[in-house]
A and B are shown apart, each in its own frame.
Chain A
Amino acid sequence: MFEKIFEYLSYPFAVYALIVGVLVSLCASLFGISLVLKRFSFIGDGLSHVAFGALSIATVLKLTNQMILVLPITVICAILLLKTSGKRKIRGDALIAMVSVGALALGYLIVNRFSSSANISGDVCSTLFGSTSILTLTKFDVITSIVLSVIVIVLFIIFYNKIFALTFDESFAKATGVKTEIYNLIYAAITGVIIVLAMNLVGSLLISALIVFPSLSAMRLFSSYKKVTIFACIISVLCAIIGILSSMVYGTPTGSTIVIADIIAFVICFVIGKLRRKTV
């Protein structure tokens, strides 16, 4: 098995897949904790369907670089969905559901009617489930993913304290003079960027797993925000590496293999957490 892995890693595209996979899963886990605690776990699903819709339009328009359309549309939708507003008539979860199914349906309709691809269902399936997307990245995709991921990680480090304040007590943060509107805007934009990056890794339908599972696994074992953050990152990166390598060795779809690795990690953490609480 290790011989096979080393042989596969002699291909640049396999190394690119690992690098991008590690960075994207790291970004998703960093911001996933806040999203889970703020009850926005399904935002990943909603935004990934918006990204799918944007990708469909970009495909039909035959854009060389689809990121030009997908990234801004997804970021704008992220800002609209996550921006807190007391005047909103449609609540957060209902709004996410509306946008999610609407974008998915519109995207598939556009691809079905206007795409000139020979295998529409194959393209759609690959985008939705990320079977080999991470292994077929162009150099431009890799560089874009690395740059965006590094920016996201740096922003998390810089705004760590603000993110902490916004997650646990936004009202108090606002009362103490923190410009919550601006930070919420930045936070929403970063979430949109992470979703677009994660689409290549696990596909549109499974993105929520990257956001939710590492955080929940870490919360089974730790209660401190810092420890949960660190452990969620470790779990997410490990599962991404194991998922990518396993899919290469055993011929399974990459996206779902990573998610299965996340689920197994969650079960292990759940059991360990239960045992620890029983012994205390």
Chain B
Amino acid sequence: MKRALIAILVLSIIFVCVSCSSNDDKKVIDVSKYSTTMAYSTLDNMLNINPSEYLGKTIKIGGVFVRGMNNYTNTPLDFIVITDSTACCSLGLEFELAGNLAYPNDYPEEGTDAIIEGLYESYEENGAIYYHLTEAKFV
């Protein structure tokens, strides 16, 4: 009986912890100040695990600025890339700058650190859903 009560108490605590934790009321998520472990984990959750939880929020994120190419549309794509604590894994968050900014004059040098802030949104291309920052600006 005593053991059953202890088990019920522990399960209740777990249930309360799982239910209470939420970042629904956060409008701005500043990942740029997080440790590498937390920054990478947050970005992984944003892109792969639970992207819907972050849609519509303003994200501020720091990493290495990288310019890539969209092979389907042959247009350039801009990314902020961050690595995990072991530096063996990396994730890139695509962004679109607000306004009429021109590359390379209005951009940092590729491969250098940069902090970007923008609205996290999704878009569809060739039947797949992608996520990026829109109305972004370098901070």
Name A residues whose Cβ lies closer than 8 Å to a Cβ of B.
8-16, 18-19, 119, 121-123, 125-126, 129, 131-132, 135-139, 142, 146, 150, 153-154, 157, 247-254
Which B residues lie at the A interface, using CB under 8 A? 3, 7, 11, 14, 17-18, 21-23, 26, 34-38, 40-42, 44-45, 48-50, 53, 84-86, 88-90
Determine if A248 and B11 form an interchain contact, defined as CB atoms under 8 angstroms apart.
Answer: no
Q: A16 to chain B: which residues have CB within 8 Å? A: 18
Q: Give chain A residues whose Cβ lies under 8 Å from the Cβ of B34.
A: 8
Cα distance, A249 to B33, chains bound together (Å): 11
Which DSSP category, helix, strand, loop or mixed, fits chain B's interface?
Answer: helix
Contact A132 B18 (CB under 8 A): no
Contact A146 B35 (CB under 8 A): no
Q: Which of A8, A13, A19 contacts B50 (CB 8 A)?
A: A13
Is the CB–CB distance between A136 and B88 below 8 Å? no
Is there contact, CB below 8 Å, between A119 and B45?
Answer: no
Whether A12 lies near B21 (C-beta < 8 A) is: yes
Q: Select one of A119, A150, A248, A253 contacting B38, CB under 8 A.
A: A248
Q: How many A-B Cβ pairs are below 8 Å?
A: 102
Q: Do A253 and B89 form a contact, CB below 8 Å, given A136-B45, A248-B35?
A: no
CB A230 to nearest CB in B, in angstroms, measures 13
- Which of B26, B53, B85 contacts A247 (CB under 8 A)? B85
> When the two chains form the complex, which single residue of B18, B41, B86 contacts A136, counting CB atoms closer than 8 Å?
B41
In this complex, the member of B18, B23, B37, B85 whose beta carbon has the largest number of chain A beta carbons within 10 angstroms is B37
Complex CA–CA separation, A179 to B1 (angstroms): 27
Q: Contact at B49–A125, with CB atoms within 8 Å?
A: no
Given contacts A8-B34, A9-B21, A132-B37, 4 further A-B contacts (CB under 8 A): A11-B45, A12-B18, A13-B49, A135-B41
Complex interface: chain B residues within 8 A of A136 (CB) = 41, 44-45, 48-49
